[in-house]
């Protein structure tokens, strides 16, 4: 039997995300442990990814503060909003999978 899960790189977030073919309860204890181990390694990189996006936001806000061209201001605002959305998504991934590991591994 082949793997029933994988981790695919997400260009937008800059990390690999889990893709599970089954409901969590359908995996064997060994599969769950392997998934959680790999996820914890990836999850540990999320704070640095967030920090990188926050730095980009600061740079773009600085540019926005000095920008007089309306079209360019709109572009910068859109870029800032997209970066903030990525940070939000990373926070969601960080928490949701933390809960999966801590609550379900002890069943």
Query: 101 falls in which pLDDT band (50, 70, 90)?
Result: low
Over the stretch 31-70, which tens digit does the pLDDT of each residue have?
A: 999 999 999 999 999 999 999 999 999 999 999 999 999 9
pTM assigned to the model? 0.85
Q: Can you tell me the distance from the alpha carbon of 103 to that of 107, in angstroms, rounded to the nearest whole number?
A: 7
**E strand intervals along the chain:** 5-10, 15-20
| The total number of structural domains that make up the chain | 1
- Whole-number mean pLDDT of the chain? 90
Q: Can you tell me the distance from the alpha carbon of 33 to that of 36, in angstroms, rounded to the nearest whole number?
A: 5
Domain that holds residue 28: 5-104
**CA separation, residue 56 to residues 45, 81, 87, 107 (Å):** 17, 11, 11, 41
């Amino acid at each position: 039997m082949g793997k029933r899960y994988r981790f695919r790189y997400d260009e937008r977030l800059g990390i690999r995300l889990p893709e599970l073919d089954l409901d969590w309860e359908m995996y064997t204890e060994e599969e769950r442990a392997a998934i959680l181990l790999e996820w914890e390694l990836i999850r540990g990189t999320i704070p640095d990814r967030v920090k990188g996006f926050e730095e980009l936001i600061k740079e773009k806000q600085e540019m926005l503060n000095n920008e007089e061209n309306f079209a360019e201001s709109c572009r910068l605002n859109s870029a800032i909003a997209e970066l903030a959305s990525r940070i939000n998504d990373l926070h969601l991934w960080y928490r949701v999978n933390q809960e999966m590991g801590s609550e379900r591994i002890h069943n």
